[in-house]
Copies of this chain bind each other. A is one copy, B any other.
């Protein structure tokens, strides 16, 4: 509840990603700037697109015109080796200040400048409709500037978007110059079609199958435009001079009349302006549609293979993006968007309202919504054939840690609830492609999508493989699609049997031996991470086996679960939490031993979310997760001695991956033991809330988001082993936990049991078939509870709603 945080221009890490699923992105920075142009099928943090920015010119009745770059002023440092590059037009006047806030998928920037009688606000978004991945997968951004004239006379306001024709883009060279090798034959056209007017930027140089093939478009639905298709073709920075003088003179652009494509090694910048006359006290909207179309991505997990060190004629095998199946150019994308704008925008606003018009705490909404970004970041991609893949996260310039890694995506909940078909595509890959005849599952999907590195010799990941079984169960219960579950059951059964044979050879239901896991090492012997996840997999598998008509397996798994639950609890419970049992914790490197592992109950929280219930004694589970909070939440890091990577420091607050409250730290504990991962923090927060430790769970969420304040870290970019890290999508679990949401579309029932603001509660929900809002209000006089489920998309036909009356 309450408004989202806003970020001033000093919040240099606040970058709000626009762009659809599998389309790449351009971000809006806290100064209202366009930044991080990641439209070329890979991440590109810090990548600026030269001369691509908005400007505003205001012309008074007497003709006096003032022009500004439509960004607020730059913030330090200003220490670039050659001054700030002209391609950022940093030397042109800007507005005094700005303030950005985001409510995904919408971002707003308020500009302030006392010298202008104008109030200027930018709203930007890319259509986002849960359960409609195609409509949420458009390579486009809608940017609407709303300008109010607060002065006493009418003024003409021109807002101009400038955009380089980046078809042929291969990066930056020295002196702030663009690498020019692959430019030439670039064409900037001005088109008007069905209420859409604007620039279409193409090139004849790169054939359809080329990684460099593509187009961009900058268009508007406003009627009155002013256009400069090409900036001055000249040396030095003459073109900026000419553009700025032209704009600042009278707010009207002059087309320079060029008719030829760009010369070899050259590109052009084009500018599209919208002009509105605004009377005193009146306002106007300037709507721009920015679209891009780079349909081909390199057919390899190593995106740096696309670096083009072999020049423009590089022959790299390409594969097409999903959006390429629907469109042939950026202009077509813009046309489609405008033709369908009413529906796309309405449903996007419906989702936004459903999520944010909620009584959940603001920082929870922040955590839940901001990490949706991962799905539409360069961490993920989506192919023409419908398959969805994800890295773990991103380097600055490429995806990092390939293969929809099962043990990382294990923590993610967001995708399953917002785009369940895409989440199911990952199960299809896991059980349909990556699980071999012996049941060994490659925890990185490199059979489904190629990699130069072979993972075939790698151990299976016990947490990832067992976690996928739980997730299969979750996705089945969410969708109610039993046929789909059954189609994957053979693979899942092999995977479960492999897990039993490999990690529980003695059949006591407690995993032992060498257990590779998400810490990139192997745990040995009985340990809670592997062990509890295994129990969850057994419970899920037992139920799925039953439904698949595999009664023998179902019973076998259930028996093993019952044994395992007792045995694991007996072996690992230390009275306060679950520990790893090893006679000599230093016999192997990288164990945790008697440490308090934050992830000790990951299997349990995932089981809870999937609807599998308790795997271990309830009181022990409740106690253990409480112990994790008590021991692992560090409220000041200044004396923490972490020899690993640093995600929290100084006076920050964060939840440690492991602590040793009673001593007993191994000489060399597992890598990451001293680190702080938001994905762990969220799963623990969700679990704390589920087990009744609501305040504790909220405190953990608050700690995470306080660290991501735009100055220290990006609010829409929770980093772990890469930007936009998939594990951060554990944050969706916090929404599930606070609303007490349960679902079983197979059985036809969903339920709510809010644990916060229960007297006046509103929250978003989704299943695999529908989404909407749930609200309940307690009558303060009668004590009775009135509740309502509003289905905003899809259908709950045949599904009952169960509300817990206290």
The range of chain A's interface size is 35 or more
The smallest beta-carbon distance between A770 and chain B, in angstroms, is 37
B86 close to A644 (CB less than 8 A): yes
B645 and A78 contacting across the interface, CB-CB below 8 Å: no
**Candidates B241, B638, B645, B671; contact of A93 at CB < 8 Å:** B638
List chain B residues, Cβ under 8 A from A720.
82-83
Inter-chain contact A645/B77, CB cutoff 8 Å:
no
Which B residues are in CB contact (< 8 Å) with A400?
Answer: 81-82, 174
Whether the pair B641, A248 counts as a contact (CB closer than 8 A) is yes
Determine the distance from Cα of A711 to Cα of B12 in the docked complex, in whole angstroms: 14
Q: CB < 8 Å: which of B80, B86, B719 contacts A81?
A: B719
- Of A133-141, A388-396, A417-425, which binds chain B? A388-396
Q: Cα distance A711–B671 when bound, in Å?
A: 35
Segment 615-670 of A: residues with Cβ below 8 Å from B:
638-647, 649-650, 667-669
* A713-B643 contact given A238-B589, A671-B237, A719-B83, CB 8 Å threshold: no
Given contacts A79-B13, A85-B645, A91-B644, contact A74 B711 (CB under 8 A): no
A73 within 8 A of B: yes
* Least distance between A70 CB and chain B CB atoms (Å): 15
Within the complex, the shortest CB–CB distance from A445 to chain B, in Å, comes to: 20
**Contact in complex: B649, A73 (CB < 8 Å):** yes
| The residue from B74, B82, B395 contacting A722, defined by CB atoms under 8 A apart | B82
Asked whether, in the complex, the Cβ of B590 is within 8 Å of the Cβ of A81, the reply is no
- Cβ–Cβ < 8 Å partners of A94 in chain B: 638
Instruction: Across the interface, name the chain B residue whose C-beta is closest to A85.
Output: B645
Q: Are B91 and A393 in contact (CB under 8 A)?
A: no
**Which residues of chain B have C-beta atoms less than 8 A from A241's C-beta?**
643, 668-669
Known: A81-B396, A719-B80. A244 touches B643 (CB 8 A): yes
Q: How far is the CA of A234 from the CA of B521 in the complex (A)?
A: 14
Question: Taking the complex as formed, is A200 at the interface, i.e. its CB lies under 8 A from any CB of chain B?
Answer: no
| A12/B675 in contact, CB under 8 A | no
CB contacts (< 8 Å) of A81 on chain B: these are: 45, 393-396, 400, 719, 722-723
Distance in angstroms between the alpha carbons of A720 and B721 in the assembled complex: 36
Using Cβ atoms and an 8 Å threshold, which residues of chain B touch A780?
none
Q: Write 15 A-B pairs (CB below 8 A) sorted by A numbering.
A: A13-B76, A13-B79, A79-B717, A81-B400, A82-B720, A83-B646, A84-B647, A86-B643, A90-B649, A91-B644, A91-B649, A93-B639, A176-B645, A235-B589, A241-B668
Measured CB to CB, the residues of A under 8 A from B are 12-13, 45, 73-74, 76-86, 88-94, 96, 174-176, 234-238, 240-242, 244-245, 248, 393-396, 400, 521, 589-590, 638-647, 649-650, 667-669, 671, 674-675, 711-714, 717, 719-723
Extra 13 A-B pairs, beta carbons < 8 Å, given A83-B645, A90-B646: A77-B712, A79-B714, A82-B719, A82-B721, A83-B646, A84-B646, A91-B649, A91-B674, A174-B395, A236-B521, A237-B671, A240-B643, A242-B668
Which 3 A-B pairs rank lowest in CB-CB distance, beginning with the nearest? A91-B642, A83-B645, A240-B643
